[in-house]
Amino acid sequence: MTKEIKRILVGVDDSKDALMAFDYAINLAKKDQLELVIVSILESDDMNVFQALSKDYVHGERQELEKHILEFQKQAQDAGVKQVRAVVAEGDPGETIVGEVIPAIKPDLLIVGAKSEKGVSLKFGSQAAYMAKYAPISVTVIR
C-alpha cells in the first residue's frame, strides 16, 4: 500500500543538484496539485567564530537567505504551483531538516540534491545520505 503524497519538502541552496531537485519538486507539485514547502538552512559552519558571535552578521546573513528563498517561492508560483511556502532554519542542514523541519512541516516526501555547495558536507560526507538514512519519510535524492 502506497502512502498518498500531499506535501513535498524540498531543500534548496545554490548548488547544481539542489536546483535540479527544486525543478523536480516544482514539476511534481504542479502535476499532482501538491503543496510545496521550500527550505533553506543557514549554516553556522560557514561563518568564522567572530561572525558567528556577531548578532548583526548572523541577522544580516539570515535576512539575505530569507530574501533569496522568497525568490524560489516566486519561481514556484510563477511555474504554476498553487500552494507554496518558504522556510528558513539554522544549523546543520541534515540534522536540522530531519530533527526540526520535518516534524514541524509534516511533509510526505523530502526532495534534496545529492551534493551541496557549502558546509561540512563537502568534507565529512553527504547531507543527502544523512537525510535519506534518518528522515522518517520517503526521500528522493536528485543528481
Q: pLDDT tens, position by position, for the chain (143 residues)? A: 567 999 999 999 888 999 999 999 999 999 999 999 999 998 765 544 444 445 554 456 778 888 999 999 999 999 999 999 999 998 889 999 999 999 999 999 999 998 765 554 443 447 899 999 999 999 999 98
Residue with cell 533569496: 68
Nearest to 9 by CA among 42, 38, 40: 38
Burial of 19 (0-12, 13-18, 19+ CB in 10 A): middle
Give dist(CA 23, CA 134) in Å, integer: 24
Domain 7-142: homologous superfamily in CATH: HUPs (3.40.50.620)
